[in-house]
A and B are shown apart, each in its own frame.
Chain A
C-alpha cells in the first residue's frame, strides 16, 4: 500500500468537508475519485499533498506518517498534484515551465552556473515534453498554448518533479472529445511508472482507464469498487450517476 489515510477529518468553519475518510491506494493502480460537486474531492487532494492540514486523522505514505509535513516536503517525497484550474508560468516558455519543475530535484542554491547548462535537467525536460507531445511548442510562451495543450503542460510540470503518486484534478475538464482521447492516452501511458489518482466528471474517462473507483459524497467514501461494480451500484446511481 503506497498511500493510506486513517480517519481523516477536515472542517472549514462549521462545514465538515472530509468526514472520517479511510482511503487506501495500491502502488501502480489508476484510481478515480468521483462524486457530485462539493463532495470533497479537491479537498482530499489538498490534504494528501499537504496544502491543507487535517483537523484530525493521519496520512501514511509507504508506511511513513506524513500528516504534519509541509507541502514542499511531501512533494519531494513524491506526492504531487496538478491543478484543477491550470496553474502554469504564462510568461515563460513551455520548456522553461517544465525545466523549473525538473530543476527542483537537482539544485536550488546554485548561484554560479548558467541555468541552461544543467544538461541532465534539460534532457529530462525533453523526455517529458516528448511524453506529453509538447516538443514542437517548447519555445512558445506558455500563455500562447491552446487550452488542451496547456492542460498537458500542467501535467508535464507535475511529472517533472519525479513523483511516485500523481494526483490529477479534472485533467480533461473543458476538453473536446479529441483532446480528451489524447489525455486518456497520456494517462494510460504514465501508469507504468506511477500511481495515479484522478478526480474526474467525464464518466467515459473514468470507466475507460480506472482500475478502481472511489465515490465521494458529503465528505465520506460512499463505496469503492471496479468500474462495473460502481456503474451498477444503486446508491451511486441515486447520488451521482442517475442525475446526470
Chain B
C-alpha cells in the first residue's frame, strides 16, 4: 500500500479535484444516483464532525436527517412551495433538536451515548408513524408536495432532475466549504484535542460539555440540511428518513470512506451508494457486498478507503 504524506495544499487540491469530478457526475451515472451521492455525502460529512473530529459516535443521526426532511416537506406544502424557507426550516429545527438532545445526552460516554441517540431517533420514527400521522402521513410518508420552482435568485424548475442536481450541488459546495472552515478553525482544533485526550483538554480549562454540544449542533445542522435537500430531490418525504437504517447507513458510509480525512465521508457515501445502485440490478442482496467491503476495510484499513492513501501517524 502506498502511503503519501498529505500536507495542507495537497488536501486542498484533492478536494478541488473531487468537486470538479462531482460537478460532472450526471454524465457518468443516472442523475438520481448522482443527486443521492451529493445528499448523503453532505449528510456523512456533517455526521463526521461529531465522529471523526470530536470522537463521538451517534447511532441516531436519522433524527436530524428526518427532522430536516419532514420540516422541509411541511413548509413546502404549507408555505407556497418556498424552497429557501423550507431549507431554512430544516436548519433551524435540526439545530434546535441538536441543542435539546445535546443537553440531554452529551454527558454520557461511548456506547451509552450511541444507544441514547438511537433511542431518540427511534422515538421520532414511531411518533411520525402513528401519533402524528395526520401531519407526517404515517407509513405512507409526506405526499402531495407541490411541484417545486425555485424563485430566487432566478426561476428554475426543480421538477427537472438535472436542475435539482445542480441546485443540490451548489448548496453542497457551500456546505462543504463551511465544514472545511470549521475543521480548520480554532474550534475545529479544540474538537480534535477532545478526541485525542479529553481529560487533558478539561485540565486546560476547556468547557468540554458545552463544546461537545456545539459540535453536535453543527453536525445536526448539516444532517438536517441534507434531509431537506432529500425532500426536494424526492418531492416526497418517506418515513424511512427517521428509520434506524438511515442512522446505520451514515455510520457505514463514514467508516467505509474514512473518518480521518476530509473527503473520507464523501468517498464512503459515493462507494456505498454506487454499489447499492449497481449491485441491486443484479441481486437484491447488494447489502452483502457492502457489508463484506466494510468488514474488509475495518480489518485491513481502519482508516477507511481514504486511509489507505494517508500517511499513518
Contacts and interface: CB of A to CB of B under 8 A. Distances in A.
B131 interface: no
A107 B203 contact: no
Given A72-B208, A161-B205, A115 B199 contact: no
Interface string A91-130: 1100010011101111111111111001000000000000
Contacts of A96: 189
Main secondary structure of the interface of A (DSSP, over half): loop
Given A71-B203, A90-B196, A92-B193, 7 more contacts: A72-B202, A73-B205, A88-B197, A89-B196, A100-B201, A108-B190, A113-B186
B155 interface: no
Interface of A: 49, 51, 70-73, 75-76, 80-81, 83, 87-92, 96, 99-101, 103-115, 118, 141, 143, 157-158, 160-161
B174 interface: no
Contact of A91 (B190, B196, B207): B196
A72 B186 contact: no
Contacts of B206: 72, 104, 108
B200 A89 contact: yes
Main secondary structure of the interface of B (DSSP, over half): helix
A108 B186 contact: yes
Contacts of B190: 100, 103, 108
B298 interface: no
A112 B185 contact: yes
B21 interface: no
B199 A87 contact: yes
Q: How large is the interface on B (under 10, 10 to 19, 20 to 34, 35 or more residues)?
A: 20 to 34
B182 interface: yes
Interface in B190-222: 190, 192-193, 196-197, 199-208, 211, 214
Closest 3 CB pairs of A and B: A75-B205, A110-B186, A89-B196
Contacts of A90: 196
Given A103-B190, A108-B186, A118-B186, A91 B313 contact: yes
Given A76-B205, A108-B190, A89 B197 contact: yes
Contact of B203 (A73, A81, A111, A112): A81
B184 A114 contact: yes
A51 B201 CA distance: 12
B143 interface: no
B189 A115 contact: yes
Contacts of B189: 96, 99-100, 103, 115
Contacts of A160: 204
23 contacts: A75-B203, A76-B205, A83-B203, A88-B197, A89-B196, A89-B200, A91-B313, A92-B193, A100-B193, A101-B204, A104-B205, A107-B186, A108-B206, A108-B207, A110-B187, A111-B182, A111-B187, A114-B184, A115-B188, A118-B186, A158-B203, A158-B204, A161-B204
